[in-house]
Amino acid sequence: MSSQLADSTDPTPRYFTIPDFVTMCPFTLRINPHYVPHAKLSYDWLDSFGVHPNTKHRNAFQAMDFGLLTAMCYPDADEARFRVLCDYINALFAFDDLTDEGSLRKDGDGTRKASDIVMNALYSPSTYSNSFKVGNVFASFWGRALELDVSPGTQRRFLDSTDLYVCAVHEQVVNRAESKMLGIDEFIDLRRDTGALKARMCFAMGEFGMKLNIPDEVLAHPSIKIMENCANDVVVLSNDVYSYNIEQAQGDTMNIIETSMRDRGLDLQRAIDFAGQYVKERINLFVETKATLPSWGDKIDADVQAYLRVCEDWMIGGIHWSLGSTRYFGSRAEEVRDSLRVELLPKQDPRGQVEIPGLE
């Protein structure tokens, strides 16, 4: 869609136009048949830990329908594994909310402590004990995942990528607290580890969902790493575009839009277009690289193709869910999906929370 809806020369535009990521992304959206009843059961499970600070937060969290995101991104998981995956995604966003919008948003020391607790819960889920509620959530879902059988390689990749993620989240919180400004290349490297929808961990959980056991040396192949990075960038940076309106209202500069405006001297619409072009190039590189993969034999090749479908499902599923989610567009989600036109929210009192239309 053309950028003409937003005047790129206007220093204070009222609207901006987001890229048509759905059309860019050539993969087929599929939904896991076990979405009902497990999305609701998983939300009730999370709620039982008392992680929500108030009723408003509880209702808003439920309205975001992370179970639908799980169903879109893991459409081939069987019923038992799909339920664990729902619990995982709910746990991940509960932690994400603490560091993005909650009490840890600019608390580097608190984020480090919370991150250590989460990793302790994952390393020792059967013996973990702590008053940190989100830590209990992580111990619960991971303990049940292990009961369903997780290959040693998948366990290692999940734990290693989670450790990288929580370290990067801590760095992002410190940068936010110190108002540190990153260049575009440095920012993209950091976002590969901190990304909403946290792709590398989520790809590892896709291995769990598909019961895969791919040798380490295969997943370490340069072509696979290129494709993982491409998929990660698509998930993370398309999400940066969708979440930008809320983040700019909060005064949060840790996204590709603000970074490219500052680093490249772009106005808002051109920064949005820059992100869109970058995402398109990464999708194209993923497709091109997949066409030139070597063979490791029939069994491993089949598992590799299943793993790459997880990456594809995350790209297309994340795009569809983000575009339709109340998390970013409130009651205007359908309108934005149809028009790709977003009205810029006013800046908010930094002591408060952004009010999303439809979630007041």
pLDDT of residue 4: 38
Long-range contact list for 64-67, CB < 8 A, 24+ apart? 64/93, 64/325, 64/326, 64/327, 65/39, 65/321, 65/325, 65/326, 66/39, 66/90, 66/93, 67/35, 67/38, 67/39, 67/40, 67/42, 67/43
Residue 3 pLDDT: 42
* pLDDT at position 112: 85
Instruction: Give pLDDT tens digits for 210-234.
Output: 999 999 999 999 999 999 999 999 9
* Tokens representing residue 134 in the block: 């989100």
Structural domain 15-343, CATH architecture? Orthogonal Bundle (1.10)
- Banded pLDDT at 97 (limits 50, 70, 90): confident
Q: Give 16's strand partners.
A: 342
* Separation CA 119–CA 136 (nearest Å): 11
Tokens 């939300």 locate to 43
167 vs 283, higher pLDDT:
283
Could you tell me how many residues make up the chain?
360
Q: Roughly what angle, to the nearest 10 degrees, separates helices 222-250 and 199-210? A: 130
Looking at per-residue confidence, does 98 or 117 come out higher? 117
The Cα–Cα gap between 203 and 190 comes to 18
Q: Is 16 helix (H, G, I), strand (E, B) or coil?
A: strand
44 has pLDDT over 80: yes
Of the pLDDT bands very low, low, confident and very high (cuts 50, 70, 90), residue 107 is low
148-152, 157-161, 227-231, 346-350: which range is least confident on average?
346-350
Predicted pLDDT at 323: 93
- CA–CA separation, 274 vs 89, rounded Å? 29
- The CB density around residue 185, as the number of other CB atoms within 10 Å, is 10
Buried b (16+ CB within 10 A) or exposed e, 168-179: bbbbbbbbbeee
Rounded to an integer, the average pLDDT of 16-40 is 98
Lowest mean pLDDT among 243-247, 252-256, 267-271, 295-299: 252-256
CA distances from 3 to 18, 54, 77, 258, 323 (A): 8, 40, 39, 18, 18
Give the model's pLDDT for residue 222. Answer: 97
Which burial class, exposed, middle or buried, applies to 194 when counting CB atoms under 10 A from its CB (0-12, 13-18, 19+)?
buried
Q: Is the pLDDT of residue 136 over 70?
A: yes
Distance CA 45, CA 38 (A): 10
User: What integer pLDDT is reported at residue 2 of this predicted model?
Assistant: 39
In this structure, of 81-90, 252-261, 279-288, the range with the lowest mean pLDDT score is 252-261
Angstrom distance (rounded) from CA 35 to CA 171? 35
The predicted structure's pLDDT at residue 354: 44
Write the single-letter amino acid at 207.
E
- Judge contact between 128 and 139, C-beta under 8 A: yes
Residue 5 has pLDDT above 70, yes or no: no
pLDDT for res 39: 98
Integer Cα distance of 200 and 193 in angstroms? 8
Q: What tokens were used for 228?
A: 């993982």
**What whole-number percentage of the chain has pLDDT above 90?**
66
For residue 103, pLDDT beyond 60? no
**Per-residue confidence at 100, pLDDT binned at 50, 70, 90?**
low
- Amino acid 191 reads R
How high does pLDDT run on average in the chain? 87
Q: What is the pLDDT of residues 170-210, one digit of tens each?
A: 777 766 666 666 677 777 766 665 553 467 889 999 999 99
Contact 46, 290 (CB under 8 A): no
Max CA pair span of the chain = 59
Question: What are the b/e assignments for 11-37, b being 16+ CB within 10 Å?
Answer: eebeebbbbebeebbebeebebebbee
**Of 154 and 359, the one with more pLDDT:** 154
* Segments making up each domain of the chain, as ranges: 15-343
* pLDDT tens, residue by residue, 268-284: 999 999 999 999 999 99
Q: What is the pTM of this model?
A: 0.88
